[in-house]
Amino acid sequence: MTSRPLGALRVEKAGPLATLQDSGRFGVRRLGVTQGGPADLHAFAWANDLLGNAWQAAVLEVTLGGLILVAEQDTRLALCGADLSATLDGTPLSPWQAFTLPKGKALTFGTPVAGVRAYLAVSGGFNAEPVLGSLSCVTREGLGGHHGDGKPLATGDRIAVAREATSATGSHREVPPEERIDYRQPATLALMPGAQIADFSGESTFRAFHTDWTVDTRADRMGVRLAGPRLDCRLESMISEGIALGALQVPPDGQPIALLNDRQTIGGYPRLGTLTPMACSRLAQCQPGQQVRLRPVDVNRAQADYLRQFRRFWTAPASGQ
C-alpha cells in the first residue's frame, strides 16, 4: 500500500506557469528528448543550498507570479531568483532567503518587480515520480512535473514534500549580497564563438558583439529571440545538427535566437556560438524590452568560470542543515 505524503503545499491559485524542476533530464537527447531543468541554474542552486538540499533536488519554478500556495503543515522553504512581489500571509517577502510557512498560511506571488522566474525550494525537496530519470517538467513534450504528464500546476493540486520539510525549525539563512543578481540591470552574456561563426560576414560579426540587443516578446523556456541589426550568413542551407544549451541560432531573418532548456534537440540554422550556462541563466531572467550585450569568451575561460561558480553546490550537504 502506498503511504500518504507526509506534507504538501496546496495550490490555491495556479498563475500563468509554475512547474516542478530538478537539475534536468540527461542521457536522452539521442531519443529526441530535451533536458528541461531550471532556466536559471544560479537561483535554483542557491534555493537548494539555503536548505542544505542535494544539488539536484526538485524545486518549483514560478514564472511571472500569480501563484498562491497554502501550507498543510509548518513547512521550511527558500525563495531565490526573481522578485515576484511575494508575500507571506500578507507580509512582503524578499527573495534570496529561507523562511517557514506556517500551517494554513498562504504564500502569494504577485507581479514581477525584477526578473521573470522565482525558485521555491522545500527542505528535502519536492516529491514526485521521475520520468526518464528526472522530475523536470517539459510541457512541450508532456514529460515530468508533479503528475508526470508535463502539465504545470493547476488550482487544487497538492505538491508533496519530503519528511524534512515538515519541521518548522532552522536558522534564518540568506544568500550573500554579492551573489544576488540585480535583474533590472542590462545583462552582458558570455558567448563561446564557434559552430558557423566564420560563415557570417565581418560586418555581422562586428555587430553581434557591439550592439545592444533587445529581448523580444517571443521568449519562453524553449528560447529567447533578440531584436537588433540583421546578421547575414553566407550559408544558404545546413544539415541539422545537435543543439546544446545556449546555442545562438540565426534564422533567415537575421535575428538571433538563444535556445534554452526546453529547446529542440537538433536544428539547421547557422550558429554564432553558444552562451555559457551562467549567461543562459541571466537571459532567462530578462523581461521583454530589456537590453543585453554579447561578450566573446573562450571555452577554457568559460569552463573555469563555471567550475568556480558551481563547485560549492556539488559537495554533499552537511547533516542537520
Residue range(s) defining the domain that contains residue 281: 187-311
User: Does one domain contain both 175 and 191?
Assistant: no
Contact 65, 111 (CB under 8 A): yes
pLDDT of residue 3: 46
**CATH code of 288's domain:** 2.40.100.10
Quick: pLDDT tens for 242-257: 999 999 999 999 999 9
Q: Which cell is 202 given?
A: 565581418
Final residue before a domain boundary, out of 159, 180, 201: 180
Q: Of 231, 207, 227, 230, which is closest to residue 286 (Cα–Cα)?
A: 227
For residues 45 and 90, state if they share a domain: yes
pLDDT in tens, 80-91: 999 999 999 999
- Asked whether residue 168 falls in the same domain as residue 296, the answer is no
pLDDT number for residue 163: 59
Q: Which helix (H) or strand (E) is 319 found in, with range? A: none
Same domain, 114 and 22: yes
pLDDT of residue 6: 58
What total of structural domains would you count in the chain? 2
Separation between Cα atoms, residue 262 and residue 240, nearest integer Å = 17
Is there a single domain that holds both residue 20 and residue 146?
yes
Q: Are residues 242 and 300 in the same domain?
A: yes
Q: Are residues 195 and 253 in the same domain?
A: yes
Q: Are 143 and 36 in contact (CB under 8 A)?
A: yes
Indicate the average pLDDT of the chain: 92
Which domain-ending residue is among 141, 164, 180? 180
Q: DSSP string covering 131-152, please? A: BTTB---BTTTTBBSSSSBSPP
Tell me how far apart the 2 most distant CA atoms of the chain are, in Å.
Answer: 67
Instruction: For residues 125 and 226, state if they share a domain.
Output: no
Residue 321 lies in a domain: no
Examine residue 317 and state whether it is found in any structural domain, yes or no: no
Starting at the edge strand that comes first in sequence, how are the strands of the sheet with 158-161 ordered?
91-92, 87-88, 106-108, 68-71, 7-13, 158-161
Predicted confidence (pLDDT) per residue in 53-77, tens digit:
999 999 999 999 999 999 999 999 9
- Give one DSSP letter per residue of 228-269, joined into a string: SSPP-BS------EE--TTEEE--TTS--EEE-TT--SEE-S
Same domain, 30 and 174: yes
Residue where a domain terminates, one of 180, 214, 232: 180
> Do residues 202 and 282 share a domain?
yes
